[in-house]
Amino acid sequence: MPKILVVDDAMFMRAMLKKLLTEAGFDIAGEAETGRVAVDLYQELKPDLVMMDITMPEMDGLTALKEIVKLDPAAKVVMCTALGQERSVMEAMNAGAKDYILKPFNAEKVVEVLKNASG
Amino acid sequence: MKAEFINPFVTAGLKVLESVISARPESGQLAVRSAAFTTQQVSIVIGVTGAVEGQAIYGMSLVTATKIAAAMSSMPAMAFDEMASSAIGELGNMISGHATTLLSEAGYECQITPPTLVRGTEVEIATSTPALVIPLYTDFGKMEINVALMETGEKTATSPPRDTEKQEASDA
Ligand SMILES: [Mg+2]
């Protein structure tokens, strides 16, 4: 099963995602609450997938995405963002994100997008 | 501040609340509040930067906040603990994220900062302009949206407005 790095500054979102992903059969490689920590953990844990929030302190998700793709052009990063932030989503897709999920999300959609991105 | 700046927050608030608590809230009367003191037990403060700058503050009672957090967590009930605070902060993030997209589409390109949660009333929030306030009434109680935004003169080219935006602008 793919190992996922869950990145979100909100403890609530990390908890929801970990529960949902574990139930869907994914392994949680680790979690990060800032973009900076996400980049460090990406190198350390080498996850199969990254679920990346956009608005975070220290380093936002777009910057972290770009750094991860620079380190590993084959990185599979799925953005997770507030509904309506199409502009950020477009920038992320151009920067190498595989797909995106809009919050508030539904569980089936998250699992479907991640399964496609990991394949 | 311009009344048009609060409309995107009302549109976004109605949409996000409807999605997280599965019932459409009603918006109430617009008011102006000159002093930026919190009037609710729980306030989520989110900074806005860019072509408009200032704050969006979402205030509610502890009971309302706890009920919304429980609904977001798919739990029948919960205490207002760290997890519930985080859920409520995320609610503010989702509303503000959507609202700033609508503002960007209206030509005011802006970004948001991560949420800060303030507990207690009469806490002063430093704002540089009077706030516009609109209550949203949900099945779980009232959420007050306070928006204090000023133009910074960096208005960008206007992209075509979306239908939802036009519609809410006339309601609010
Ligand atoms: Mg966030």
**Of A86 and B5, the one with more pLDDT:** B5
Give the chain A residue nearest B83 (alpha carbons). Answer: A12
**What residues form DSSP beta bridges with A32?**
A7
Amino acid identity of residue B86, one-letter, is: S
CA atoms within 13 A on the CB side of A13: 31
Question: In Å, how far is B102's CA from the nearest CA of chain A?
Answer: 8
State residue A22's pLDDT score: 94
Tokens read off for B103: 């503002």
State residue B171's pLDDT score: 39
H or E segment to which residue A24 belongs: none
State residue A89's pLDDT score: 84
**Of B106 and A5, the one with more pLDDT:** A5
Do B20 and A84 lie within an 8 Å CB cutoff? no
Q: State whether residue B23 is helix, strand or coil.
A: coil
Do B96 and A104 lie within an 8 Å CB cutoff? no
Mean pLDDT on B22-45: 86
The residue ranges of every structural domain in chain A are 3-118
How close is the Cα of B82 to the center of ligand 1, in Å? Answer: 16
State residue A119's pLDDT score: 79
ipTM of the complex: 0.84
State residue A84's pLDDT score: 62
Pairing between β-strand A77-82 and β-strand A49-53 as defined by DSSP bridges:
parallel
Do B97 and A12 lie within an 8 Å CB cutoff? no
DSSP B125: -
CA-CA distance, B34 to A62, in Å (whole number)? 36
State residue A82's pLDDT score: 77
Average pLDDT, chain B: 86
Question: In Å, how far is A100's CA from the nearest CA of chain B?
Answer: 15
How close is the Cα of B89 to the center of ligand 1, in Å? Answer: 9
Residue B156 has pLDDT above 70, yes or no: no
State residue B2's pLDDT score: 81
The residue ranges of every structural domain in chain B are 3-171
Alpha helices in A9-118 (DSSP H): 11-23, 35-45, 61-71, 86-94, 107-118
pTM (global) more than 0.95: no
The CA–CA distances, whole Å, from B131 to B2, B33, B55, B139, B149 equal 10, 5, 9, 25, 8
The residues in A 7-36 lying below 8 A from B, measured between CB atoms, are: 9-13, 15-16
Question: In Å, how far is B16's CA from the nearest CA of chain A?
Answer: 7
Q: State whether residue B156 is helix, strand or coil.
A: coil
- pLDDT tens digits along B136-149: 999 999 999 999 99
State residue A62's pLDDT score: 94
**Of B36 and B45, the one with more pLDDT:** B45
Do B73 and A83 lie within an 8 Å CB cutoff? no
Collect all residues of chain B within an 8 Å Cβ-Cβ radius of residue A55.
93, 97, 111-114
State residue B160's pLDDT score: 47
How close is the Cα of B170 to the center of ligand 1, in Å? Answer: 31
The CATH class for the domain spanning B3-171 reads: alpha beta
Collect all residues of chain A within an 8 Å Cβ-Cβ radius of residue B15.
83
The CATH class for the domain spanning A3-118 reads: alpha beta
| Confidence at B167, pLDDT banded by 50, 70, 90 | very low
- Asked whether B124 and B36 are in contact (CB, 8 A), the reply is yes
Alpha helices in B38-121 (DSSP H): 62-72, 82-105
Do B90 and A56 lie within an 8 Å CB cutoff? no
State residue B158's pLDDT score: 53
| Cα B66 to the center of its chain, rounded Å | 17
Task: Return per-residue pLDDT of chain A as tens, 119 residues.
Answer: 889 999 999 999 999 999 999 999 999 999 999 999 999 999 999 999 999 999 898 899 999 999 999 999 999 999 988 766 677 888 999 999 999 998 888 888 899 999 999 87
> Among all chains, which residue has been given the structure tokens 């603990």?
B81
Of A9, A16, A83, the CB nearest to B94: A83
Ligand 1 is an ion; its neighbours by CB within 5 Å are A 9, 53, 55
Collect all residues of chain B within an 8 Å Cβ-Cβ radius of residue A81.
97
Q: State whether residue B152 is helix, strand or coil.
A: coil
C-alpha dihedral sign at A50, A52, A58, A62: positive
Mean pLDDT on B19-31: 89
Mean pLDDT on B30-35: 82
Residue B162 has pLDDT above 50, yes or no: no
| Confidence at B163, pLDDT banded by 50, 70, 90 | very low
CA-CA distance, A94 to B1, in Å (whole number)? 35
CA-CA distance, B90 to B17, in Å (whole number)? 12
How close is the Cα of B73 to the center of ligand 1, in Å? Answer: 16
CA-CA distance, A58 to A36, in Å (whole number)? 7
- Among residues A29, A61, A111, A8, which one has the least CA distance to residue B87? A8
